[in-house]
Structure 1
Amino acid sequence: MIKVNVSELGRILGDMYNKAPHGDQVAKIHLFGVKYADVILRNNLSVKDIVARSGINPSYATEVSKGIKLSVYVVPKE
């Protein structure tokens, strides 16, 4: 698997948030946490740093963390 860095994950998160339909932004943040939980955890990356690089509100780090926790229980649809 390709190692993804904090900057790239921040860009992806920002894109997911900004391209989400109105009202679905938080769900997209959770989805990001689900999709990238393995990479974030395996590489011991900082969720706060990823969110900071994304350009979204820093308080959304909590929502990314929720998605990471959900990743144990859900599989994203493609």
Structure 2
Amino acid sequence: MYNNAPPKKLVVMIHLFGIQYSEEVRKAGLKEVVAAAGLSHHLQAELNKGVNLGEYVIVRDPWKSRS
């Protein structure tokens, strides 16, 4: 998700990853996931925001109509 992020949506995609994989990230650990992805440790806070939102947010398919 990080490597394929649309322009100016990098942090949003990190949040989305945290939301979608919140349980897995919690089990593995934030530091470990960020390190395994080869990301800067500064992005750990952004991933943590997504993980925390994971229990409240349902991800929708962006390709479905909004009607």
The interval holding the TM-score normalised by the smaller chain is 0.7 to 0.9
Give percent identity, aligned residues only: 36
Q: What value does the CA root-mean-square deviation take over the aligned residues?
A: 1.1
- State the one-letter code of the partner of 1:29: I
* CA distance, structure 1, for counterparts of residue 41 and residue 18 of structure 2: 15
Say which structure is richer in helix: 1
TM-score of the pair, normalised by structure 1 = 0.71
* 2:40 corresponds to: 57
- State the one-letter code of the partner of 2:29: S
**CA displacement at 1:73 relative to structure 2:** 1.4
Which aligned runs of 4 or more in structure 1 are off by greater than 2 angstroms?
Answer: none
Structure 1 gaps of 5+ residues are 1-15
Structure 2 gaps of 5+ residues are 62-67
* CA distance, structure 1, for counterparts of residue 47 and residue 28 of structure 2: 12
TM-score of the pair, normalised by structure 2 = 0.81
* 1:23 corresponds to: 8
